[in-house]
Amino acid sequence: MTTLITLLIFTGAFVAAAEYAWWGPQRRMRLEIDQRLRGLRVESGRRPESLLRQQQLPGVSFLSRLEMMKRLQAMIDQARLPYRAGNVITLSLLLLAASYLAPDAFSLFPFLTLKLLFAFGCSALPIVYIRTKRQRRMRQIEEMLPDAIDLFTRAMRAGHNIHSGLQVLAEETPEPLGGEFKKLVEDLALGSTVSAALHSLGDRVPLLDLRFFSTGVVLQRETGANIVTVMENLSAVIRERLQLRARLRAHTAQQRFSAGLLCGLPVATGVFFYFLRYDYISVLWLTPSGSRFLIYGVVSEIIGILVLRRVGSVRL
Please list the pLDDT of the chain residue by residue as tens digits (316 residues): 556 556 566 666 666 666 666 666 776 677 666 655 544 443 344 444 444 444 444 444 454 456 778 888 888 988 888 888 888 999 999 999 998 888 777 776 666 777 887 888 889 999 999 999 999 999 999 999 999 999 999 988 888 888 888 899 889 989 888 889 999 998 888 888 888 888 888 888 888 888 888 888 888 777 776 888 888 898 999 999 889 888 888 888 888 888 888 888 888 998 898 888 888 888 887 777 887 888 788 888 888 888 877 776 666 6
Res 144: pLDDT: 92
Give me the pLDDT at residue 72, please: 87
Residue in 104, 105, 78 with CA at minimum distance from that of residue 207: 78
Q: Is 45 buried (19+), middle (13-18) or exposed (0-12) by CB count in 10 A?
A: exposed
| Residue 109, pLDDT score | 67
Query: Which positions ≥6 away from 116 have C-beta within 8 Å?
Result: 7, 100
pLDDT for res 199: 86
pLDDT at residue 48, as a whole number: 45
**What radius of gyration do the chain's Cα atoms show?**
25
User: How is the chain split among helix, strand and coil, in percent rounded to 5?
Assistant: 80, 0, 20
What b/e readout covers 235-261, taking b as 16+ CB neighbours within 10 angstroms?
beebbeebeeeeeeeeeeeeeeeebee
How confident is the model at residue 50, as a pLDDT? 43
**How many whole angstroms separate alpha carbon 148 and alpha carbon 143?**
10
